[in-house]
């Protein structure tokens, strides 16, 4: 990237990506790096500013994460947030102590409007606080520039050394002028010029792809999701006629999805290979009921099918992947327990024998990928698609998977997506159906029926790590139930899933 860059040092705080996105929204490129990245490496990035994230530790603990102390002498402006601010104070000779009373939530904060961070703002600011430690003594040469009722030093500055710290979280929406404060740090302290935009990212990546692949060919696994779709559109713009997209239909896609791929990408300057591998997947899954087994089989078969197809294509030299920035950022957290082995189309074995990998979206957050998709003229239905698991409907058919069950689920799912999608009164971030393995007795006319029970799942969530069930109006639930039981043969009962995550997960398997 040729842009001015802000380096974000990750101390394990949950808002690190939010900080990076806010900086980018201000028109300044940002990268997230681990907290212990050596100064030499940071220098190579030629940053115009450095931001320290928050984190769960206490600065005064011997074991807590610390940065390379030479960073403070680079002359590059630094802004510490929460733990990042405490760490700066601690490492430069100040004192950090546990708060008598922790401070969580939106708080009134009095700020010194003479400070460059707060210039032009009201002296009373509403900010989000979330801390159990606080700075009790500032290092020499530093001034206190904010306070709350609980926290006597809610922000500090050393204008000469261009080092700043805020105890609150300016990156979250609840801090009313938080973005404005970040903007002031970027433009008034770091001297940012705001040279980062999606238009110029797109142009740069088009150039980079051309340089990387020359006249050679690129193979891309197209899943129908936003990332691989935007990647395909970008590559066909960069090197028209040199891209082969392989779309493997495992038979678990939603209604109309494979046809839409054909229409959208068939009209672009790329070779589209559509492979119907549903027979193979279904036969491998015959008799399999265990969710993890299903996921593993689908992952393995997917990689196999992809290898088979790519070898038929005379081996294009490059492999493209729709990897995006959150997949790349190294996590400061420990490895967590495997709840589900996620499968994505990007999850191909590393050793497929390509000359190189092309990942033009690797530096982008999801909302930025969508903006690129728009610039490339992709339809909204593709760009704003809800997350759809790699194994598709296979993990929404509980128990053994059969064509008959898949067809039932596909029809019901289309109704649910249509009705919830058009309901203005319903707030739901993801909604779909699950075909349970339970049949139940019913009555239609004078006859007994014994058909499947279908579950409707709709959730509200901001990060898909936790969720609540969506409060769907009763009228809409009634409509879903009536349409599904009338229009979908094989469903005799419809239930609504009212479980949050935790304890449940969003998908049933």
Give the residue with the Cβ less far from ligand XMP, 340 or 385. Answer: 340
Question: Which residues are CB-contacts of 483 (< 8 A; sequence separation ≥ 6)?
Answer: 415, 419
The two three-digit tokens of residue 409, written as one number: 């689920």
Which among 68-76, 339-347, 448-456, 486-494 is the span making contact with ligand XMP, rule CB under 6 A? Answer: 339-347
In angstroms, give the least distance from the CB of 437 to ligand XMP. 18
Question: Of 107-115, 208-216, 341-349, 351-359, which part binds ligand XMP (CB under 6 A)?
Answer: 341-349
Residue partners of 486: CB distance under 8 A and separation at least 6: none
- Tell me which of 48, 67, 82, 190 is the catalytic residue: 82
Binding mask 464-483 for ligand XMP (x = CB under 6 A): x-------------------
Prior bond to 502 cis, omega within 30?
Answer: yes
Among 209, 389, 428, 431, contact with ligand XMP (rule: CB under 6 A): 389
Candidates 161, 340, 439, 479; binder of ligand XMP (CB under 6 A) is: 340
Out of 387, 421, 473, 475, the residue judged to bind ligand XMP by CB under 6 A: 387
Is-catalytic flag, 82?
yes
The candidate with the shortest Cα–Cα distance to 229, out of 374, 382, 389, 387, is 382
Q: Which stretch binds ligand XMP (CB under 6 A): 55-63, 191-199, 328-336, 388-396?
A: 388-396
Q: Does 391 bind ligand XMP (CB under 6 A)?
A: yes
Binders in 78-117 for ligand XMP, by CB under 6 A? none
Phi then psi for residue 443, to 5 deg, are -140, 130
Q: How far is the CB of 73 from ligand XMP (least distance, A)?
A: 44
> With left for phi above 0 and alpha for psi between -120 and 50, is residue 490 left, alpha or beta?
left
SS3 for 27? Answer: coil
| Binding string, residues 411-450; x marks residues near ligand XMP by CB under 6 A | -------------------x--------------------
Q: Where are the beta strands (DSSP E) in 294-392?
A: 318-320, 356-358
Check 103, 157, 171, 309 and give the catalytic one.
Answer: 171
Contact 113/119 with Cβ under 8 angstroms? Answer: yes
Residue number with CB closer to ligand XMP (79 or 364): 364
Exposure string for 416-426, b = 16+ CB within 10 A, e = fewer: bbebbeebeeb
Site for ligand XMP contains 507 (CB under 6 A): yes
Helix ranges restricted to H, 27-74: 39-44
- The residue (of 64 and 430) whose beta carbon lies closer to ligand XMP is 430
Binder among 86, 125, 344, 436 for ligand XMP (CB under 6 A): 344
Annotated active-site residue 169? The verdict is: yes
Buried b (16+ CB within 10 A) or exposed e, 77-96: bbbbbbbbbbbbbbbbebeb
Span interacting with ligand XMP, options 58-66, 67-75, 192-200, 499-507, rule CB under 6 A: 499-507
CA distances for 226 relative to 72, 153, 158, 393, 432, angstroms = 41, 44, 44, 18, 18
78-81 and 155-158 beta bridge pairing: unpaired
Based on the residue annotation, tell me whether 131 is a catalytic residue of this protein. Answer: no
Nearer to ligand XMP, 119 or 342 (CB): 342
Question: Distance (Å, rounded) from C-alpha 274 to C-alpha 258?
Answer: 9
Instruction: Name the residue with tokens 């009228």.
Output: 475
**Nearest CA among 49, 68, 53 for reference residue 3:** 49
By CB under 6 A, tell whether 224 contacts ligand XMP. no
Pick the closest to residue 395 from 293, 305, 274, 467 (CA basis): 293
27/500 with CB nearer ligand XMP: 500
C-beta closer to ligand XMP: residue 169 or 255: 255
Scanning 53-61, 86-94, 335-343, 412-420 for contacts with ligand XMP by CB under 6 A, the matching segment is 335-343
**Backbone dihedral angles phi then psi of residue 281, each to the nearest 5 degrees:** -60, -45
Of 343, 410, 457, 493, the one binding ligand XMP by CB under 6 A: 343
**Size of residue set near ligand XMP by CB under 6 A:** 14
Q: Which residues are catalytic, by number?
A: 82, 169, 171
Site residues, ligand XMP (CB under 6 A): 340, 342-344, 387, 389-391, 430, 464, 501, 505-507
């Amino acid at each position: 990237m040729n842009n001015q860059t802000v380096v974000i040092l990750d101390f394990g705080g949950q808002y690190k990506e939010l900080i990076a996105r806010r900086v980018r929204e201000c028109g300044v490129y940002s990268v997230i790096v681990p907290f212990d990245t050596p100064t030499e490496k940071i220098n190579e990035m030629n940053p115009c500013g450095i931001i320290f994230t928050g984190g769960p530790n206490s600065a005064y603990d011997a074991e807590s994460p610390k940065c390379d102390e030479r960073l403070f002498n680079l002359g590059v402006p630094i802004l510490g947030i929460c733990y990042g601010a405490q760490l700066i104070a601690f490492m430069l000779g100040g004192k950090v102590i546990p708060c008598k009373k922790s401070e969580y939530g939106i708080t009134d904060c009095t700020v010194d409007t003479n400070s460059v961070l707060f210039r032009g703002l009201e002296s009373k600011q509403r900010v989000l606080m979330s801390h159990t430690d606080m700075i009790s003594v500032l290092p020499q040469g530093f001034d206190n520039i904010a306070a709350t009722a609980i926290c006597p030093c809610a922000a500090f500055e050393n204008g000469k050394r261009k080092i700043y710290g805020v105890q609150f979280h300016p990156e979250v929406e609840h801090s009313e002028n938080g973005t404005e404060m970040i903007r002031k740090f970027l433009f008034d302290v770091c001297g940012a010029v705001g040279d980062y935009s999606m238009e110029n990212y797109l142009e740069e990546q088009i150039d980079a792809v051309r340089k990387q692949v020359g006249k050679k060919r690129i193979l891309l696994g197209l899943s129908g999701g936003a990332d691989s779709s935007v990647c395909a559109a970008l590559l066909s713009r960069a090197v028209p006629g040199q891209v082969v997209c392989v779309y493997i239909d495992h038979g678990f896609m939603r209604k109309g999805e494979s046809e839409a791929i054909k229409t959208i990408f068939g009209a672009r300057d790329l070779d589209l290979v559509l492979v119907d591998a549903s027979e193979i997947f279904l036969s491998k899954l015959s008799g399999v009921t265990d969710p993890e087994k299903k996921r593993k089989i689908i992952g393995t078969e997917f990689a196999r099918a992809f290898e088979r197809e790519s070898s038929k294509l005379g081996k294009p030299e490059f492999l493209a992947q729709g990897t995006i920035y959150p997949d790349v950022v190294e996590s400061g957290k420990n490895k967590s327990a495997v709840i589900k082995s996620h499968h994505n189309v990007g999850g191909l074995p590393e050793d497929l024998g390509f000359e190189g990998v092309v990942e033009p979206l690797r530096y982008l957050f999801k909302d930025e990928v969508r903006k690129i998709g728009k610039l490339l003229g992709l339809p909204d239905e593709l760009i704003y698609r809800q997350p759809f698991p790699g194994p598709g409907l296979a993990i929404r058919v509980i128990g053994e998977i059969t064509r008959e069950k898949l067809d039932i689920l596909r029809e019901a799912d289309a109704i649910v997506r249509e009705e919830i999608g058009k309901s203005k009164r319903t707030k739901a971030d993801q909604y779909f159906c699950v075909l349970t393995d339970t049949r139940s007795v019913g009555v239609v006319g004078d006859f007994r029926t014994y058909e499947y029970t279908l579950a409707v799942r709709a959730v509200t969530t901001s990060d898909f790590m936790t969720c609540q069930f969506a409060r769907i109006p009763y009228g809409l639930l009634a409509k879903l139930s009536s349409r599904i039981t009338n229009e979908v043969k094989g469903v005799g009962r419809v239930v609504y899933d009212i479980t949050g995550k935790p304890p449940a997960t969003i998908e049933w398997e």
